Structures are given as structure tokens and as C-alpha cells.
A and B are shown apart, each in its own frame.
Chain A
Amino acid sequence: MISSLLAVAKEKGAKEVAEAKIKLGKMQQIDIDILNLAFRELTRGTLLEKTKIKVEPEETRFRCRACGHEWNFEAPGKSEEEEAIHFVPELAHSFLRCPRCRSPDFEIMGGRGVWVEYIKISR
């Protein structure tokens, strides 16, 4: 994420990057404090050293394709399954079922992944 931020900043001729807005899908089960800490550590000595990061969590929402039911993601509570979903969210289809009809055929509507919505640059 940081290398793609740096690449975009360079491409746009940025002298400063004031702010980066990061969206954090809850399905990824990433701790905001750890993300902040990692960002500070990994940007030391780069253009992003003083960049303020705004992290906004996004709720995980599923919609069942079989019965139309919508619900929020709840971590399965088993560490192996949570680890799998953390690495590859689609693996949820192996572990989770629609709470209404038990179908594994659900759509991940939101809360997947970590992405940067924008950066604010000065040049």
C-alpha cells in the first residue's frame, strides 16, 4: 500500500502528502492501531513520513444470492477460520453460511480489503 502511495505521489509530482484516507474493511480483521503503527514505521524517511492518515473502518455486509437475506459479518470465532478470511476474504465461502437459509452463495457487499480512497498532495 505504501509503495503504491509513494508511486502515485511521485507520478503527480507531489512535494508533500498532507493526508491519506485509508478504508479498512472489517472483514480483514486488521487492528487500526497496528495499521497506524506500521504506517509510521514503514514511511520513516519517505515523503509520507509526516502524512496524516485517516483510517475509516467499513462494515462488512453480506447478501444471500439464494434468499436475499442481508447481514453483517461476524468473525467465526475459530482462529484458523479467521486467519483464512484475513488472508483471502473469499475463503469465507468455505466457512460461513447465510443465517436464514444456510446457503454459501452470498455476495460480499462491503467490508472487503484495505484501500486508499485518496491522498492530499501539494506540489
Chain B
Amino acid sequence: MGRVHQNLKVKVPDPRLAIIEKRLKQVNRIIVVASGKGGVGKSLVATTISLWLSRKGQRVGLLDLDFHGPSCHIILGAKEVAPTEERGLIPPEVHGVKFMSVIYYIGDRPLPLRGDEISNAFVELLTITRWGRLDYLVVDVPPGIAEEVLDIIRLIKRGEFLIVATPSALATTTVARLSQLLQELQVPVLGAVENMCPSETGTEGAEKFGTTLLGRIPFDPEVEEKLGDPELLLRTKFARAVEAIVDKIRT
């Protein structure tokens, strides 16, 4: 009788948001490969970083968040693989990288999504994917500063951004805008990489990106024919330049 008995109705918040943290608990670092601009080579850089990290003995996951134009699977040559269902989805390992993408389900079909739907799909994907223990999770985000980027900032506070640019003035102004936004929101930024450069030397003119320049990657016409074959891809000039950037990220 000494107990105060109340039949209180209590609201319960969206359970998915709590699960996301739990799902990423055993992931040591989360590298978010972004750009404001499309066509600068984000997916290629993100996938090559994942492959190098795996080669260097790290446990790596790669999440392709580009719902409208997923392409990491083409670079990895991920064919006839699918996640295993076990209290969520366990991504299959492709060339040493645990790889998650919507392509397992939509194949080559278009996936026309609007704003909130992108957010919901992203939250759902993070909720159901069981990465397990990882040293690195690399996230390839689509161009722009819309849902995917804003949701990462909202939901994965420790995500470290790696910004991909090209030497073109058409890319640098947009990239500088992304840098500015990340700085304003006090989001961790590793720095920028400049892809498709006429030569890979030097760091002059790096201030235009609004962040540290981690390296330049030469334009390498040989990369295109190595897509889908990670072994050959890692032997290209492009991949060797990415390796130097990976070593900087790791320190």
C-alpha cells in the first residue's frame, strides 16, 4: 500500500534513432566522402579508400548512400551477392569490404524518391544494417547538401568528412560552400582531395577549398577499363595517389 500507483501513459520516441547508435557502436571511425558537386569521382575515391584500408589489414565497411545513382557496386564488381538476414541485414564481403547498397534490392530499376523518403530510407538502412566490428566505415554520399548530408550530420555526429573536388572552377565554388557549411556546424572535416588533376604534385592554391588539402589525384584515363576489377584498379596511378591519402587519414 505504501507504493504510489499510477497508470501513466508515456510516449515512446522513434525506436530507430536509438538503434542507429547501437548499430554503429563497434565501428571505430566513420569516413564520409562528400562533395557539393556531382561527377567529381566521389564513389571511385570512396571505394578505392575502402579497398586500400582492407588491404592494409583494416576491417572496413562501405555504404553507398546514393539512392538515385548508386555506383560503388560497379567499381567493386559486386555481382551475385546479397546481405544475410539475421536480426537485421549483414552486408556481404566483397573484395574484403563489407558492402551495403540498395542495389541488392532494386537492381537496375530507377528509385525515384523525394526528400522525406530519402531520409526515411537512410534511417531504415542504418537501422537494419549490422556492420559488426569495423575499424572504418566509409560512406559514399550523393552530390548536394540535401537529405543525405544533413542526415549524416544529424544522426552520425562523429562522421569525419572527406571532401572531393576537381580543379574545375565549376566544382571548387560548390565544394567551398560545403566546407563552409561543415565548418559552421562544427562537423569534423578531414580535408579535401582534388581529383582529376593534370598532375598530382603540389598543394598550391589549396585555400580555395576552405579546408586542408590532403592530396591531389591525377586524371588517369586507365581507370575506366579497370572498373569492376579491384585488383587491377589498385595498380593504377589513380589508386596509388589515393593510397597516399589513405595513409594520411589513418594517422
Contacts and interface: CB of A to CB of B under 8 A. Distances in A.
Contacts of A91: 102, 105-106, 111, 121
Contacts of A18: 7
B155 interface: no
A90 B113 contact: yes
B223 interface: no
B12 A87 contact: no
Interface in A78-123: 80, 83-84, 87-91, 93-95, 104-105, 108, 112, 115-123
B8 A12 contact: yes
Interface in B110-153: 110-114, 117-118, 120-121, 124-125, 128
Given A84-B106, A91-B105, A4 B124 contact: no
B73 to A, nearest CB: 15
A1 interface: yes
Nearest to A119: B10
> How many interface residues does chain B have, given as a range?
20 to 34
B8 A87 contact: no
A32 interface: no
A15 B3 contact: yes
Contact of A90 (B5, B7, B14, B124): B124
A120 to B, nearest CB: 5
Contacts of A116: 12, 15
A75 B229 CA distance: 38
Interface string B208-250: 0000000000000000000000000000000000000000000
Contacts of A12: 8, 10
Contacts of A30: none
B202 interface: no
A116 B17 CA distance: 13
A55 interface: no
Given A83-B105, A90-B124, A118 B111 contact: no
A93 B113 CA distance: 7
Interface string B16-49: 0011001000000000000000000000000000
A84 B105 contact: yes
A123 B184 CA distance: 44
A35 interface: no
A55 B12 CA distance: 15
B11 interface: yes
Given A12-B10, A15-B3, A18-B7, A90 B15 contact: no
Nearest to B88: A87
A88 B10 contact: no
A94 B226 CA distance: 29
B105 A122 contact: no
18 contacts: A7-B18, A20-B12, A88-B121, A90-B111, A90-B113, A90-B120, A90-B121, A91-B121, A94-B110, A95-B109, A104-B110, A116-B12, A117-B12, A118-B12, A121-B7, A122-B5, A123-B6, A123-B8
